[in-house]
Amino acid sequence: MSTNVLYLVRHGSRFDYDNPTRWSEISSLPTVLSTDPPLNHFGFKQAELTGSYLHRDVLLEERNLAASSPSGPSGVSTRCMSSLYQRVLQTARPFASYHGILISPEPGILEYGHHYNTLEEPGRRIAQCFPEVDLGYEPLTKLEEVDWKSTTEREDGVSYMRRILRFESRYSNQVNGRDTIDVMFSHAASSSLVAAMTGLQLEEVGKFAPCGIFKLRRSSGSRWVIELYGSDNLHSLPPPIPSLSGPSSSSDSVSESMTRPWGYEQGKRDYRNMWKRARELEFSAPPLYHLVLASSWSSVPPGGLYYPPTYNQDGFTHLTEEPALLVGVGNLFYKKPESAVWVCLEIDGGRLGEGLVVKYEPAAPVGGDEGEGEGGGEEGTLFPHLYGGVEKDAVRRVMEVKRLEDGTFVEIVRIKG
């Protein structure tokens, strides 16, 4: 049984929040990126307190996972991932320092409305200002996937949401089957990542405060569950400091904008339809499903292919568009051993690599067995057959399969949305 823990953290309060005029002057300089303000004085305090809080909580998670992991402490992987904007890297720095790890720069969680071709590769500006950045990190989203234009045109909302959906799929697949803890520093709009992981709508996820923390957990490839919501940032608020001129007040002058959470509220922008459109575009091909032993799937390396044991006999991989049919397949072929853990792969047919072809054909026996084959269905029903292995990068989600003690398959736990 594997456990994945994710902390998604919004950056602290920005310099331009309380210094708009000054930032307008600074950002007019040719070497300054107007969309990349640093933290303000309060933001740095938030980052320090948040880093300390995260360090303590992650230590507890590491100890708990190490106690249950067959490999002990060495079997638990902890990372600090960050958007490449300086306010986010500045927020990530205290936690990385407390925890003694490097920062992994991840373009997949860049800002909403990112300007194309405005951020250099990590080896340039970032390496000089943030020596704790891991230049050897292999990102899940390449910078060129985001910065693909030679102009300063902004990434539109639907494109941003598609990027988040794509990143979520790659990330969830990468950590599946391992004990992992990731602390991911990003922007307010990245609450959409929580929606992608849980199947909730954007407004159901709630708002994201400066230095707010979403904490999510997943066990053995099942759905992600929210344990902490990002609208609360009390852990990042410094205690009141007595004022020399009057009653006690908060540390320095803290405006509402420094702590106010942001969320996907319907208004000038129709976020709900943008999210729907992004999902339609990103998942244009109908999802396909395949039943597999959890241990077999977890052993497939990133970018690798999975071939079922019956592939040589059948000449293809059996798939279906309806995961409920796989309950019947499981009970027909795979009830024993009762203790075996099975998962259901949700495959994006549009992401299958070159040479991997899906053909819709009449039901065929599984592994030469002349039984019901692919789970029954009406006469004349065509089933998708994949001529090739299941490509790991084409799998959107790995879903839980519920069984009874006697090995009976009961349900494929589907993700909402």
Predicted TM-score of the model (pTM): 0.68
The total number of structural domains that make up the chain? 2
Specify the higher pLDDT residue, 67 or 250: 67
273 and 300, same domain (yes or no): no
Mean pLDDT for all residues in the chain: 85
pLDDT of the residue at 126: 78
Name the percent of the chain lying above pLDDT 90.
Answer: 51
* Residue where a domain terminates, one of 282, 308, 330: 282
pLDDT over 80 (residue 166)? yes
Residue 275, by phi and psi: left (phi above 0), alpha (psi -120 to 50) or beta?
alpha
Residues 376 and 242 reside in one and the same domain: no
Residue 381: domain span: 287-412
DSSP character string of 177-209: TSEEEEEEEE-GGGHHHHHHHH---HHHH--B-
Which CATH number fits the domain that encloses residue 142?
3.40.50.1240
Band of pLDDT at residue 82, cut at 50, 70 and 90: very high
Q: Is 113 left (phi over 0), alpha (psi -120 to 50) or beta?
A: left
Whether the predicted pLDDT of 348 surpasses 60 = yes
**Which of 237, 264, 282 is the last residue in one of the domains?**
282
- Do 176 and 315 share a structural domain? no
Same structural domain for residues 85 and 142?
Answer: yes
- Phi, then psi, of 273 in degrees rounded to 5: -75, -30
In a domain, 417, yes or no: no
Reading the block at residue 53, the tokens are 């809080």
Is residue 111 assigned to a domain? yes
Place of tokens 């106010």: 260
Same structural domain for residues 157 and 305? no
Shared-domain flag, residues 212 and 332: no
Quick one: 187 and 161 in the same domain? yes
> In this structure, which amino acid lies at residue 350?
G
Per-residue pLDDT tens over the stretch 215-234: 999 987 678 999 999 998 78
Asked if residue 323 and residue 264 are part of one domain, the reply reads no
Whether 277 shows a pLDDT value over 80: the answer reads yes
Rg of the chain (C-alpha set): 24
Q: What is the DSSP letter of 271?
A: H
Domain membership flag for residue 383: yes
Tell me what pLDDT residue 416 has.
40
295 lies in the same domain as 242: no
Question: Are 113 and 169 within one domain?
Answer: yes
- The pLDDT assigned to 352 comes to 80
Residue 205 maps to a domain: yes
- Is the confidence at residue 63, as pLDDT, over 60? yes
Whose structure tokens read 């959409």? 192
Sheet-wide strand order for 179-186:
103-105, 76-82, 179-186, 3-10, 213-219, 225-228
Confidence of residue 249 (pLDDT cuts 50, 70, 90): very low
Query: What is the C-alpha separation between 130 and 211, in angstroms, rounded?
Result: 20
- Are residues 182 and 261 both part of a single domain? yes
Would you give the end-to-end CA distance of the chain in angstroms? Answer: 26
For residue 390, the domain's CATH number is: 3.20.170.20
Q: Binning pLDDT at 50, 70 and 90, where does residue 251 land?
A: very low
348, part of any domain: yes
pLDDT above 70 coverage of the chain, percent? 84
Judge whether residue 169 has pLDDT over 50. yes
pLDDT computed for residue 243 by the predictor: 41
Tell me: the pLDDT tens digits for 6-48?
999 999 999 998 899 999 999 888 777 788 899 999 999 999 9
How is residue 4 written in tokens? 């994945």
The verdict on 375 and 237 lying in the same domain is no
The last residue of one of the domains, among 282, 308, 327, is 282
Secondary element (H or E) of residue 125: helix 125-129
- Encode pLDDT of 88-128 as tens digits: 999 999 999 999 999 999 999 999 888 766 665 555 667 78
Question: Apex CA 199: angle with CA 194 and CA 204, to 5°?
Answer: 65
